[in-house]
Amino acid sequence: MNLFEVYPLYDVTPVRAEDVYVYDEKEVKYLDLYGGHAVISIGHSHPHFVKKISNQLKQIAFYSNAIQNPLQKELANSIGEQSCLHDYRLFLCSTGAEAIENALKLTSFHTGRKKVIAFKGAFHGRTSAAVAVTDNSAINAPLNSQHEVVFLPFNDKKALERELATETYCAVIFETIQGVGGLDEPTEDFVYAMESLCNTHGTCLIADEVQSGFGRSGTFFAYQKYQIAPHVITMAKGMGNGFPIGGILVHPEIKAKYGMLGTTFGGSHLACSASLAVLDILKKDRLQEKTKDLENYFRTKAKEISQIKKIKGRGLMLGIEFDFEVASLRKSLIYDHHIFTGGSSNKYLIRILPPLTVQESHFDVFFNALKIALKKNNKNL
């Protein structure tokens, strides 16, 4: 049987990985500055992660959500402690898109409304409502167009006010730092306006932290740079360091009802153990705190390269923008220098989303390689 080919693939076959490196079948070592789409948080196959999952596997891997699972409560407490969101409640699922579906559905239940405001450049996933609030018509099928979504530009307060005043929207959904879109951010002023306009007009605010959450941006959630209280926070990616787990945090104002949300796999014993291992290491190794210095180091090095026109993002969710398309540059980084980086819908931008265990020396390797790749690229232009 052949695979259903939906991905353009690089010709690299990783067979094992350790910390910030992945190794192919010939033991060629690649520096991973992309973390498989921002998923690897505490480093590939971290020994504590492996041990905790292995031990759990020997005990019990899974049972449905019809029984008591104390690991879920332990995970809720640990997320509460590290995010300081003690009053929020946790619902667990398995992926980012599923977290978005649940967040949107919940706000619709809560408000009795069904329209949603999303933003230009947004990416929230590929399932039903998640893809409908994603600003990319190419990945929306006719079926997805049943959702009523209005896309606004970031920072247009007047347009947001005009729409919310109709009091027909269940939610405004935003990424504090856009991931797939290319690291754009709303201004501080607009973030506060979103919160206050949502509160005035009975609309819920959803912070999509699927990519930016779990310490990557320097705060536990990227939106926590500001003093706002979203109704729902979505998370996934770094939460499981490669083990599929996602979830939403729900503001105490939204009340739970039996049957409102549900899942078979979400919150399994194994998934909870994986995420608890991530939180253990985040705390023990102070990975979130370290992102600030690493960002500063990265920015200083990037400024030395004149072809880099803009440095975007925060913490270890970074982008460097050029005035030419970067596809061939990224290819050269992979094939000539064995360094993984990321693209985005902004064709001029390279995304850097390394494991949070990355060190300054890894950035030195990257920038040295980038300088050589840029020379080769300039010759080919």
Which is nearer to ligand PLP, 211 or 273 (by Cβ)? 211
Cα separation of 243 and 279, whole Å?
A: 13
| DSSP letter (8 states) at residue 144 | G
Which is nearer to ligand PLP, 139 or 165 (by Cβ)? 139
| DSSP letter (8 states) at residue 255 | P
Which is nearer to ligand PLP, 21 or 34 (by Cβ)? 34
Q: How far is the CB of 129 from ligand PLP (least distance, A)?
A: 12
Neighbours of 48 (CB within 10 A): 16
Closest CB to ligand PLP: residue number:
96
Cα separation of 146 and 185, whole Å?
A: 28
Which is nearer to ligand PLP, 170 or 183 (by Cβ)? 183
Helices (H) and strands (E) in the chain, counts: 11, 14
Whether residue 180 contacts residue 138, with contact meaning beta carbons closer than 8 Å, is answered with no
Q: How far is the CB of 264 from ligand PLP (least distance, A)?
A: 17
β-pair type (169-174, 204-208): parallel
In DSSP terms, 171 is beta-bridged to 116, 204
Q: How far is the CB of 82 from ligand PLP (least distance, A)?
A: 20
Which is nearer to ligand PLP, 48 or 225 (by Cβ)? 225
Which is nearer to ligand PLP, 134 or 203 (by Cβ)? 134
Which is nearer to ligand PLP, 183 or 374 (by Cβ)? 183
Which is nearer to ligand PLP, 236 or 271 (by Cβ)? 236
Q: How far is the CB of 95 from ligand PLP (least distance, A)?
A: 4
Cα separation of 210 and 125, whole Å?
A: 10
Q: How far is the CB of 277 from ligand PLP (least distance, A)?
A: 19
Place of tokens 């939403």: 248
Q: For residue 235, which phi and psi values (nearest 5 degrees)?
A: -150, 160
Which is nearer to ligand PLP, 72 or 234 (by Cβ)? 234
Residues at the contact surface with ligand PLP, assessed by CB under 6 A? 37, 95-97, 100, 123-125, 175, 179-180, 208, 210-211, 236
Q: How far is the CB of 178 from ligand PLP (least distance, A)?
A: 8
Interacting residues of 24 by C-beta distance below 8 A, sequence separation 6+: 12, 13, 14, 15, 30
Place of tokens 């009795």: 112
259: alpha, beta or left, given left = phi > 0 and alpha = psi -120 to 50? left
Q: How far is the CB of 307 from ligand PLP (least distance, A)?
A: 27
Give the DSSP letter string of 204-246. Answer: EEEEE-TTTTTTTTSSSSGGGGS----SEEEE-GGGTTTS--E
Which is nearer to ligand PLP, 122 or 373 (by Cβ)? 122
In DSSP terms, 313 is beta-bridged to 318
Q: How far is the CB of 119 from ligand PLP (least distance, A)?
A: 11
Q: How far is the CB of 38 from ligand PLP (least distance, A)?
A: 7
Q: How far is the CB of 327 from ligand PLP (least distance, A)?
A: 19
Which value, in Å, is the radius of gyration of the alpha carbons in the chain?
Answer: 21
**What Å distances lie between residue 34 and 61, 110, 125, 256, 352, CA to CA?**
29, 37, 18, 37, 6
| DSSP letter (8 states) at residue 19 | B
Angle of the 287-303 helix axis to the 360-380 helix axis, nearest 10: 40
| DSSP letter (8 states) at residue 256 | P
